């Protein structure tokens, strides 16, 4: 890759990491879009995005937990079944065009709701444990199939269902993304028998963007502002799934 292309893709990765990490996400859908735009081979894009996801989700998880927004009691039911299901999704490589279009439309609908109705946090009620386990398993499979960490689906669901306040949803999604990205990457490597493409400059860009974004999101940005940022993130992810 030419130096000027490498610089441009690093800038794109940094911006994606900053934007996504500010809402407790890690940026896989954005990384996939950026790497596709710059012509990287499809076989290396998914595992490379998962590697960057792991780096940024680690930072975001630490930042949101350090700021006091994380709830283990709410997290573990979502995570317990998502880890093995993300492995299955990462292992399987199916033609999922129609499926991705449907998921993209759902994300765009969620984005519109956050743009139009970014209400302050309201009273929340945690879901039943069985519900959280089932939802986590389904989102884990979805994460593995789409090459993301699943937080892009979990955060809006938790907010819309009033299962958690905005920053708590972000904190839970960050760790949810981390465990699913690790599982999805292991599944991808097991299925392809290939180690992921990796470039140090891309990792550095992701870490810088992720550190800055997660710090501001966990400590400085208001819940309403985070919801507007989340709308932007969902829009990017939705268009990526529909048009990729």
133-171 tens-digit pLDDT: 999 999 988 887 776 778 888 998 998 899 999 899 999
* Average pLDDT of the chain to the nearest whole number: 85
Give per-residue burial for 76-100: e unless 16+ CB within 10 Å, then b.
ebbbbbbbebbbbbbbeeeeeeeeb
Whole-model pTM: value is 0.84
Sign of the torsion formed by the C-alpha atoms of 154, 159, 160 and 164: positive
Percent residues over pLDDT 90 in the chain:
38
CB 147 within 8 A of CB 184: yes
Distances (CA, A) of 214 to 60, 179, 210: 5, 18, 6
Contact call for residues 163 and 125 (beta carbons, < 8 A): yes
Residues 6+ apart with CB under 8 A from 195: 47, 189
Average pLDDT for residues 96-124, to the nearest whole number?
74
Report the sign of the C-alpha dihedral through residues 67, 214, 44, 3, in that order: negative
- Rounded-to-integer distance, Cα 90 and Cα 93, Å: 7
Would you tell me how many other CB atoms lie within 10 Å of the CB of residue 67? 17
Binned at pLDDT 50, 70 and 90, residue 47 comes out as confident
pLDDT score for 96: 60
DSSP 164: S
Q: What is the pLDDT of residue 132?
A: 95
Written as six digits, the tokens of 83 are: 């880890």
DSSP reduced 3-state for 146: helix
Q: Tell me how far apart the alpha carbons of residues 204 and 12 are, in angstroms, rounded to a whole number.
A: 12
233 band by pLDDT with thresholds 50, 70 and 90: confident
Strongest mean pLDDT among 41-50, 190-199, 215-224: 215-224
Q: Rg of the chain's alpha carbons, rounded to an integer?
A: 16
CB neighbours (10 Å) of residue 36?
16
Write down the pLDDT at residue 196: 65
pLDDT of residue 72: 94
More confident residue, 20 or 46: 20
Find the mean pLDDT for residues 1-23. 88
């Amino acid at each position: 890759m030419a130096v000027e292309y490498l610089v441009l893709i690093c800038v794109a990765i940094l911006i994606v990491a900053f934007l996504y990490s500010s809402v407790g996400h890690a940026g896989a859908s954005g990384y996939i879009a950026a790497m596709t735009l710059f012509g990287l081979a499809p076989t290396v894009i998914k595992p490379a995005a998962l590697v960057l996801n792991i780096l940024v989700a680690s930072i975001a998880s630490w930042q949101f937990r350090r700021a006091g927004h994380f709830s283990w009691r709410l997290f573990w039911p979502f995570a317990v079944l998502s880890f093995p299901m993300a492995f299955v999704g990462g292992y399987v490589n199916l033609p999922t065009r129609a499926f991705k279009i449907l998921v993209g439309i759902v994300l765009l609908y969620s984005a519109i709701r956050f743009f139009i109705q970014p209400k302050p946090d309201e009273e929340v009620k945690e879901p039943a444990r069985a519900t959280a386990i089932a939802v986590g398993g389904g989102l884990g499979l979805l994460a593995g199939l789409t090459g993301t960490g699943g937080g892009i689906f979990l955060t809006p669901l938790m907010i819309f269902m009033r299962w958690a306040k905005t920053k708590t949803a972000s904190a839970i999604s960050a760790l949810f993304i981390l465990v699913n990205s690790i599982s999805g990457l292991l599944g991808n490597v097991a299925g392809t028998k290939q180690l992921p493409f990796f470039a140090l400059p891309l990792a550095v860009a992701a870490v810088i963007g992720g550190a800055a974004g997660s710090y501001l999101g966990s400590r400085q940005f208001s819940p309403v502002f985070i919801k507007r940022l989340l709308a932007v993130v969902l829009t990017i992810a939705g268009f990526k799934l529909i048009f990729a």
